[in-house]
Amino acid sequence: QVQLVESGGGLVQTGGSLRVSCAASGRTLSSYVMGWFRQAPGNEREFVACISVSSDSTYYADSVKGRFTISRDNAKNTVYLQMNSLAPEDTAVYYCAASSEWTYRGASYHTWGQGTQVTVSS
């Protein structure tokens, strides 16, 4: 199945912006729902956003709605998460994942990337 690799994480100040990317290899992303999840130290993994196969639909966690935007470019085999108005509470390892169904449940995502660290300084 598809392999996923995240990139673009780093350090940003409160109120700043960052875009993380998820590139696929092995298979194309064109048949998968794609999601972003995050996990902060001491916290459980939480859903962030997901996007349908054709980009017709997106869904966001309440904590990021209005600040984050998920997008995908199937021709480039890449999914993105644009993060604006970042706050220290957004500090976490961000993971992309692929699913065969429309869902925000992490357990339903069958393929995961290794994660990329996003740190928001206060």
At 59, list the tokens: 């869904």
Secondary structure letter of residue 30 according to DSSP: T
Is 71 buried (19+), middle (13-18) or exposed (0-12) by CB count in 10 A? middle
- In Å, how far are 1, 4, 19, 62, 94 from 113, measured between CA atoms? 12, 5, 16, 23, 9
- Please choose, from the candidates 72, 120, 75, 73, the residue with its C-alpha nearest in 3D space to the C-alpha of residue 94: 120
3-class secondary structure, 90: helix
Task: Per-residue pLDDT tens, the chain, 122 aa: give them.
Answer: 789 999 999 999 999 999 999 999 988 888 999 999 999 999 999 999 999 999 999 999 999 999 999 999 989 999 999 999 999 999 999 999 999 999 999 999 999 999 999 999 99
